[in-house]
């Protein structure tokens, strides 16, 4: 019994290191988005028309974005580089929509 007790007294349990997964959000170089904001004066038809014409949406996608803007106040409607998005955003602004590149 004395021998078992001496072995237990000298026993060093392994040290465990806890690993923690960390989610890192990185902004990928060159990716931006056009955010379309709700307003009180543009019709659904006009917003849908502009999204189809300038953002290359199909009619269903444009309609869904129009509803998201209406109910949530904003919607990301196009992703890409700033250089690619700038003329699209300017066209939306010229058509009376409220949008900006983020």
Burial of 11 (0-12, 13-18, 19+ CB in 10 A): exposed
Per-residue pLDDT of the chain (102 residues; tens, 9 = 90+): 555 555 656 666 667 666 666 665 555 556 999 999 999 999 999 999 999 999 999 999 999 999 999 999 999 999 999 999 999 999 999 999 999 999
Which secondary structure element, helix H or strand E, spans residue 12, and what is its range?
A: none
Minimal CA–CA distance to 98: which of 56, 38, 40?
38
pTM of the model: 0.71
């Amino acid at each position: 019994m004395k021998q078992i007790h001496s072995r237990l007294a000298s026993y060093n349990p392994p040290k465990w290191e806890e690993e923690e997964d960390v989610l890192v959000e990185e902004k990928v170089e060159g990716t931006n988005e056009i955010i379309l904001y709700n307003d009180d004066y543009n019709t659904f038809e006009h917003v849908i028309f502009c999204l189809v014409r300038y953002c290359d949406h199909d009619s269903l996608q444009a309609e869904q974005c129009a509803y998201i803007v209406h109910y949530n106040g904003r919607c990301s409607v196009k992703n890409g580089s700033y250089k690619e998005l700038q003329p699209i955003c300017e066209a939306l602004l010229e058509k009376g929509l409220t949008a900006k590149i983020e």
